[in-house]
Each structure stands twice: as structure tokens, then as C-alpha cells.
Amino acid sequence: LTEHNARHVWHPMAHPAEMRANPPVIISGGEGTEIIDIDGKRLLDGVGGLWNVNLGYSCDPVKQAITAQLNELPYYSAFRGTTNGPLIELSVALAEFFAPDGMVRSFFTSGGSDSVETALRLARQFHKLNGQAERTKFVSLKKGYHGTHFGGASVNGNQNFRRAYEPLLPGTIHLAAPYAYRNPFNTDDPKVIAECIVQQFADEIAFHGADTIAALIMEPVLGAGGVIVPHEGLMPSLRSLCDKHGILLIADEVITAFGRTGAWSGSRLWGVKPDLMCTAKAITNGYFPFGAVMIGSRVADVFEADRTAMGSIGHGYTYSGHPVGAAAAIACLAETIKKDLPSNAAARGVELFDGLEALKERYPLVGDVRGMGLMCAMELVSNREDKTPVGKDTVAKVYKGAYEAGVMVRTSGNNIILSPTLIITSQDVARILEALQAGLKAAGN
């Protein structure tokens, strides 16, 4: 299997040669909060799949909903002339779930990148319908991650994810990341950093002209960029500037929707109502590729008022509103509410964060720890004074040490990322922390 994998699989974000030198772990089972490798080794999943398996690997109501729907209607398109029951039921449940965020309609997709692309397209189309066709530019934050499609890659805040695919969308504006540990503002005060970013946005609006800007897209808590938690004032202040200048706000909640930060949505965490909200990942607990762009009334009303445009939206996916995905999502939503997952994410998140802080006290390799709910990161440095990031080898040693101690973690640059399932217990948190300690020791710290 390992040789076939090395020869025939093109793994995302890994060089084929690396697959031979360092074969990936073959995962063959999952139960509760754990995954099981092909040799039968059980690992506590500190990654929650890929930030998406909120309910763990044995969520029977979701499995049953998928099976029942497969037997009832495994697929039919949900374009103009046809629809299906689960899709309608889900749209009602989502409208209720996201009502406090101001959302009224859902546009269904097959995943996060599709959701981002859809939101960017809807933003431009919204302005065209409003007679402002010149509003085409997008603004985003450095360190933001918004998927792989051309629109999403254009607003991606990490130039390593853009370089190979240029030229991308022209006129994309990247504001600074709200990254207290490293930033160009010569401060570690999150409030000051937020104020600087808001000022930057105001300056960019003045420079480009508000009437050229379609939308600002941001993650309420930045995930793949290394779990960056902005100051509470950032998103509300950016919302105010958007309002002042007729710019739409797109919340990329592919990770943060459905409880991971400890709030029901990332926008609610900061008390902000976006115009469009991208969701995917935990919407089906990872059991089925699915996503939804939630649409606020400001956007929905303009589309609904324009009779010609409603009939000519040139946009939809073969799997928009897939009945099996929709059935899975209905069950996930019900389980998320029944189990009150955000409360557990908040409580376990505090324990995890405090434990990471304690590791930072003891191990000089840990330069910074960050987190909100069950989105946490530990940034590794070889020198705390000048914050020199550690090399790949050291990160790999920490990863391997944690793996050998029975916990799967994720690495991203010089960060160790933790995003376990939201059903973990305090004992599970302790297990993660012990494994990380073993990893730090293995790295010679």
C-alpha cells in the first residue's frame, strides 16, 4: 500500500518524494474521539479530521440519516425545476440556526472552496444588480485561508498559496494579519493592532475608491494561517467601515461555524452580522462533502427584487443541495444543538489553552500559544528573543513524539495546530497535553 501510495497518489501539500521518505499513516478506522491506523494503533485525534469532525467518528444519528437517505433517494439535481425534501428541511433549520447572524437563505455547495467562490461571485453579482458594476475588488487579511479556487486563492493571505497560480484576480487588497506575536506595527497589543488594520482598510478604501470594492472577506478566527485570534474590536470595526462605504462583509466560517470557537458561529463570537457567510466542514461532520453559503437579507432582497437576474443566475453545482449531504447536515445540526457542543468547546478549550500556557512556561521551544475554544496553536521557535522559527525537522520531531504518545496533531509551518473533536473530555485534553510534552521532549527541549 505504501509503495502504491508513493507511486500513484498525488497528496495535497506534499512532495511525492516525501511520501517515500516518510510514508503517511494509513488510517483505517475511527471510533468516538479516536482514529485507528492500519496496524491497529489507536490515536486520539487532535486534529478533528481537518477541523471538521466535531461530533467524532461514531455519530450514529448522522450515519443513520445518510443510510436512510441513500435508500430513499441517493441523488437528484436541485436546479430550477426540481428540489428535494432534505434540502428544504435543511434550509429551514439553517435559517433558524443562523437567524441571530441575520441569515435568511442558503446556497448549497460541495465544500469550503466552493462556498468561498460562491460568496465572491454573489458579492459581485449583488453590486451589478444594484447598478454598481465597477465594484469588483476584494479585500482580505494576510494569513487568511480561503480555499483553492481562483477567487479564493486570490484573497488568500499567504503568498505561498498564490505564487504558483498567478495571475489571479486583479486588484485584490491584503490587509495585515491581526497577529500579535509578529506584525509590522511594532507592538504586541491586539487592540492597537486591530486599530492599525482598521486604519489600513480606511486608507485602502480612500486610495482605491469605495465604489471599486465589492467585499471584505475574513475568518472570524484565522485557522490555517496558524490560529490567529483577533482583538474583539476588529471585526465589528471592519463591519462599520463596510457599512459606511457600501462594501459587503463575507465571513468565511468554514472552520468557525457550528461551535468550534465556543460560540455557535464565529460572527456571533464578535457580535457581527455579515452579509454572506461561508460554511462547510462540520456541517456534515466530515461524513459527506457539503457546504452552504448563508445569505443575509440585504443581499437576498436585491436578488429577489430583480426578476430578470433571478432567472439568469449562471451559477450552481451538480451537487448543490445533494439529498444525502442535506440529510447528514440536518442530523449534524440537531446533534450539535442537543449536545450543546459550543459549551463543551469553550470549557475544554480553556483547559487546553491553560495547558499550552503551562507548556510554554516549561519549554523554551514554545514561543507563543493561541486559541479560542477548540482552535489552538503552539508556535515553535529556536530562540525566544528574536523569535526565530524552528526548522521542519524540529516540527517533525514534536509531531512524531506526540504520535508515538498516541495523539495525532497537525503541523503548519512552525505551528502545531490543535482542533480536536468537540466531544472531547477533560481526560482527552490531558492526554493531548501529555503527548505534546512528549513531543517537545523528543525535540530535545
Q: Which is nearer to ligand PMP, 168 or 202 (CB)?
A: 168
Cβ count near 374 (within 10 Å): 30
Q: Which is nearer to ligand PMP, 59 or 116 (CB)?
A: 116
- Select from 120, 193, 280, 402 the one that contacts ligand PMP (CB under 6 A): 280
In this chain, which stretch among 30-38, 141-149, 417-425, 432-440 interacts with ligand PMP, using CB under 6 A?
Answer: 141-149
- CB nearest ligand PMP: which residue? 112
Length, in residues, of the chain: 445
State the number of binding residues for ligand PMP (CB under 6 A): 14
- Select from 111, 190, 325, 371 the one that contacts ligand PMP (CB under 6 A): 111
- Per CB under 6 A, 118 contacts ligand PMP: no
Cα–Cα dist 154/418, whole Å = 27
Q: Please report how many Cα atoms fall inside a 13 Å half-sphere around the Cα of residue 302, on the Cβ side.
A: 18
Among 273, 284, 338, which Cα is nearest to 52's?
284
CA distances from residue 342 to 46, 261, 373 in whole angstroms, order as listed: 17, 7, 8
- Per CB under 6 A, 143 contacts ligand PMP: no
| Prior bond of 184 cis (ω within 30°) | no
Cα–Cα dist 126/213, whole Å = 12
| Shortest spacing between CB 249 and ligand PMP, in angstroms | 15
- Select from 252, 275, 335, 368 the one that contacts ligand PMP (CB under 6 A): 252
Q: Which is nearer to ligand PMP, 47 or 254 (CB)?
A: 254
Q: Which is nearer to ligand PMP, 286 or 401 (CB)?
A: 286
151 neighbors 169 (Cβ within 8 angstroms): yes
- Per CB under 6 A, 375 contacts ligand PMP: no
Site for ligand PMP in 219-248 (CB under 6 A): 219, 223-224
- Select from 49, 112, 286, 373 the one that contacts ligand PMP (CB under 6 A): 112
272 neighbors 266 (Cβ within 8 angstroms): no
Cα–Cα dist 359/367, whole Å = 10
- Per CB under 6 A, 145 contacts ligand PMP: yes
- Per CB under 6 A, 113 contacts ligand PMP: yes
- Per CB under 6 A, 294 contacts ligand PMP: no
- Per CB under 6 A, 417 contacts ligand PMP: no
Report the relative pairing of strands 137-141 and 213-218 from DSSP bridges.
parallel
263: phi then psi, degrees, rounded to nearest 5: -110, 160
- Per CB under 6 A, 45 contacts ligand PMP: no
Cβ count near 411 (within 10 Å): 15
All residues at 6 or more sequence positions from 321 whose CB lies less than 8 Å from its CB, including other chains: 78, 83, 84, 87, 108
| Shortest spacing between CB 210 and ligand PMP, in angstroms | 26
397: phi then psi, degrees, rounded to nearest 5: -65, -40
In this chain, which stretch among 39-47, 124-132, 201-209, 250-258 interacts with ligand PMP, using CB under 6 A?
Answer: 250-258
Q: Find the DSSP H helices in 296-425.
A: 297-305, 307-311, 323-338, 341-362, 392-404
**Taking CB under 6 A as the rule, which mask of x and - marks residues 201-220 in contact with ligand PMP?**
------------------x-
**Taking CB under 6 A as the rule, which mask of x and - marks residues 160-199 in contact with ligand PMP?**
----------------------------------------
- Per CB under 6 A, 254 contacts ligand PMP: yes
Counting Cβ atoms within 10 Å, is residue 108 exposed (0-12), middle (13-18) or buried (19+)?
A: buried
- Per CB under 6 A, 142 contacts ligand PMP: no
All residues at 6 or more sequence positions from 117 whose CB lies less than 8 Å from its CB, including other chains: 147, 149, 150, 151, 152
373 neighbors 345 (Cβ within 8 angstroms): yes
- Per CB under 6 A, 342 contacts ligand PMP: no
Q: Which is nearer to ligand PMP, 219 or 335 (CB)?
A: 219
Q: In sequence order, what are the beta bridge partners of 137?
A: 213
In this chain, which stretch among 66-74, 156-164, 252-260, 424-432 interacts with ligand PMP, using CB under 6 A?
Answer: 252-260
Residues near ligand PMP, by CB under 6 A: 111-113, 116, 145-147, 219, 223-224, 252, 254-255, 280
